[in-house]
Structure 1
Amino acid sequence: MKKNRWLFLISALGALVGVAAAIIYAQQKPPLPPVFQPAANPYRSGIYANGIVESEQDSGANVNVYPEVAGTVLRIAVQEGQTVKRGDVLLAIDDSVQRALAAQQSAQADAAEAQLAQLLAQPRKETLEVAKAQADAAAASLKTVEDQYDKLRKSREFDSRSVSQDAMDNAANAVHVARSGLVVASRQLALTRAGAWTFDIRNQEKQRDALRKAADAADALLRKYVVRAPMDGVVLSVNSAVGAYVSPQGTYNTYTQGSQPVAVLSSQQDWLGVRVYVDEILVHRLKPGRGMQARMFVRGTDTSIALEFVRVQPYLTPKIQLSDQRAERVDVRVLPVIFRFRPPAQPPIYPGQLVDVYLGGTP
């Protein structure tokens, strides 16, 4: 009897525990409030579109900076988020080979300039004096052989047997040779006095100009090894590092396995732009203009911002621009519409951020 009583008590206790558990678990707890409210269409005939935040530009989007030469990065002069002025150094590339080539080209141009100055300075005083001395020597030689010939001729006239015909002929030939030498020396003196030939001067001027332009081109290319900011703005990203190889195609990204710019710049961020992509099947419902309404919703927050219409980029492009993939399974084309807004203090909004946008459209 006592054993049965304990079994009865345990069974009753288990029944009470089961009823209590059923009552407790049957109660429904109220759901937690959402962290943020989903974007809702604020317009009667609004059009939904994806948007991407970018810097405000008169045309185009963020400025992608690519070097014009290839080489190894020696120095990076800026940090992400830094404000830069147009012409500020962003990074420097190894220019040792190009620097030596530029020095060689400059030396060749200087040599050509010196040769031209030499031609323009002719006749040289010392060269002219040598030519004068040679002409005087030729005249003196002519005078000597003429005197010798006259002596022989007078002696032969006095006594025909005193001088042989062979001696007379040799003396006459000597006079002829000396007279020709004087003509040559006189013409050489005139040529020396005339200075450099005008065609030689023109040829040397052309060579000088060609080498100077080659040196200027080498210097201009040398300056390309320092990549400078093309505009006043903010450095959004630096995609290279010291020791990395860069080229006019940019720098290789091991994560995306593709090329990307060495740096990305935006304008001063008093204003930010929003590039909104409207599906081609909804384009006919748009009424672009200053009165066009649009509201942006920041994902993950309850923040919504009214947008100011800027312009329409009148060219439908593949939606691939949003996904940045190499291929799309469906060829969906979108119309880019550009808006702008003043960024709020909170939450922070950055270029490259995806947002939801509703545009006021016609039914």
Structure 2
Amino acid sequence: MKTKGLLLPILSAGLLIYATISVVRSQPNTPRVDPPLPPPRSTFERTVAGIGLVEPSSEIISVSSHLPGVVEKVYVKAGDRVKVGAPLFKLDTRALEAQLAEKEASVTALQASAASAEARVKTASAALKEAKLLLATAEKLTTSRTISADEVTQKRAAVETCEAALESSRAEAEAAHSQARASEAAKNMVSVDLERSTVTALVDGEVLQARIRPGEHATAGAAAQPYLMLGQTQPLHVRVDVDEQDAWRVSPEARAIAQIRGDSTRSTTLKFVRIEPLVVPKQSLTGAAAERVDTRVLQLIYRLEPSAHRFLPGQQVDVFMEELPTGKSSMPQTLATGG
């Protein structure tokens, strides 16, 4: 009886031991592997850390079109370096060229009309001068009764008629000149539109991105996606986000380094440029569970010093800034100071 009572517990214990051994044996034997590269680590004794975004020293310039139209030619591609005034892309200008020819013909015709009106002014002026001379002669002859009073009256009326004709001619000439100037202004406007049909670079820099192709339609003003993105990449800047709770710990005099993400051995020193005065909502989120989306950050701008490592615009880097002792660390009186 006792043997039968112990059989079930013994059998259960054996099955449990067997199951445990099977589970242990089924687990893969994964050896411990050290990370190929060390994680980001500061070289300073006391550190303020932040996420940096590499950007052109001019910041990114989004290029759009002045006028709507179909793109005829694109002169640059991503990676090209351009100078101020270099053409970037050109719109189809056939309609504008036709308008310009029409305006030029109109200007020529109106200038001829203005010249004709000026000639009529000169004719009217000469007629008035002659009428005044005849009137003066008639008035002298009145005393000797050589000419009648009616003839003098007629000559006086002729002077008044010539004066009215001169005023009318001058008004017509002024109107003709006004029309010619208006036509000239319209022609100049078309000429300006022709010039603006070729979008040019406003700064020396590098084409960071090209999203426009010949045959595509360009709209005037800001587009949903910039047609071209330019920037001065010599030198590059780093825009560092520092949590507002750590803002008091930063100092323009402190040393700073930037490390490439994924390889902390690749780093370079940073040169302080300025502090953006406005604390803004954090845009670059890390995805950490404890991170709040309502975090606000102070942005510091640093210049990347020459280095053997390549940094690219838009690249994120880990930035470590030295925290100076309380007596030496001080926020600038004006946040917009630069170096």
State TM-score, norm by structure 1: 0.65
Distance 1:104 1:190, change over 3 A: same
Q: Which amino acid aligns with 2:71?
A: V
**Aligned: 1:303 with 2:304:** no
Q: Is the 8 A contact 2:121 2:169 kept in 1?
A: no
Choose the corresponding residue for 1:78, options 55, 67, 76.
76
Q: Is the 8 A contact 2:121 2:170 kept in 1?
A: no
**Aligned: 1:341 with 2:304:** yes
Q: Which amino acid aligns with 2:236?
A: L
Task: Give the whole-Å Cα distance in 2 for the aligned partners of 1:224 and 1:193.
Answer: 46
**Aligned: 1:355 with 2:322:** no
Q: Is the 8 A contact 1:83 1:233 kept in 2?
A: yes
Match runs of 1:14-53 below 5 Å: 31-53=32-54
Deviates more, 1:303-312 or 1:38-47: 38-47
Q: Which amino acid aligns with 1:234?
A: E
Choose the corresponding residue for 1:62, options 49, 60, 63.
60
Task: Give the whole-Å Cα distance in 2 for the aligned partners of 1:105 and 1:333.
Answer: 56
Residue aligned with 1:320, SS? coil
Distance 1:279 1:109, change over 3 A: farther
Task: Give the whole-Å Cα distance in 2 for the aligned partners of 1:123 and 1:246.
Answer: 51
Provide the residue aligned with 1:204 in structure 2. Answer: 176
Task: Give the whole-Å Cα distance in 2 for the aligned partners of 1:92 and 1:187.
Answer: 62
Residue aligned with 2:248, SS? helix
Choose the corresponding residue for 1:314, options 260, 277, 283.
277
**Aligned: 1:226 with 2:198:** yes
Q: Which has the greater radius of gyration?
A: 1
Task: Give the whole-Å Cα distance in 2 for the aligned partners of 1:192 and 1:249.
Answer: 53
Instruction: Give 4+ residue runs of structure 1 displaced > 4 Å after superposition.
Output: 182-196
Task: Give the whole-Å Cα distance in 2 for the aligned partners of 1:247 and 1:292.
Answer: 47
Residue aligned with 2:100, SS? helix
Match runs of 1:232-311 below 5 Å: 232-251=204-223, 259-267=224-232, 269-287=233-251, 289=252, 291-301=253-263, 302-311=265-274
Task: Give the whole-Å Cα distance in 2 for the aligned partners of 1:50 and 1:305.
Answer: 15
Residue aligned with 1:122, SS? helix
- Structure 2 runs not aligned, ≥5 long: 1-25, 131-150, 326-339
Task: Give the whole-Å Cα distance in 2 for the aligned partners of 1:299 and 1:113.
Answer: 69
Provide the residue aligned with 2:94 in structure 1. Answer: 96
The superposition leaves residues 296-337 of structure 1 with CA deviations (integer Å, 9 ceiling, x where unpaired) of 0101222111100001111122223679xxxx9822222221
Task: Give the whole-Å Cα distance in 1 for the aligned partners of 2:285 and 2:238.
Answer: 13
The superposition leaves residues 218-247 of structure 1 with CA deviations (integer Å, 9 ceiling, x where unpaired) of 211221111111111111111111122222
The superposition leaves residues 92-140 of structure 1 with CA deviations (integer Å, 9 ceiling, x where unpaired) of 1122333333333333233222211111223688xx99xx9xxxxxxxx
Distance 1:238 1:343, change over 3 A: farther
Give the total of aligned pairs. Answer: 274
Residue aligned with 1:54, SS? strand
Distance 1:342 1:208, change over 3 A: same
Residue aligned with 2:180, SS? helix
Match runs of 1:110-129 below 5 Å: 110-122=108-120
Distance 1:281 1:105, change over 3 A: farther
Provide the residue aligned with 1:140 in structure 2. Answer: none
Task: Give the whole-Å Cα distance in 2 for the aligned partners of 1:112 and 1:321.
Answer: 62
Task: Give the whole-Å Cα distance in 2 for the aligned partners of 1:50 and 1:266.
Answer: 21
Match runs of 1:170-185 below 5 Å: none
Residue aligned with 1:315, SS? coil
Task: Give the whole-Å Cα distance in 1 for the aligned partners of 2:88 and 2:76.
Answer: 6
Deviates more, 1:97-106 or 1:78-87: 97-106
Q: Which amino acid aligns with 1:275?
A: R
Task: Give the whole-Å Cα distance in 1 for the aligned partners of 2:157 and 2:69.
Answer: 62
Deviates more, 1:308-317 or 1:36-45: 36-45
Q: Is the 8 A contact 2:71 2:214 kept in 1?
A: yes
- Give the Å deviation of 1:276: 0.8
Q: CA RMSD in A?
A: 3.7
- Give the Å deviation of 1:283: 1.2
Distance 1:85 1:124, change over 3 A: same
Q: Which amino acid aligns with 1:266?
A: G
Residue aligned with 2:38, SS? coil
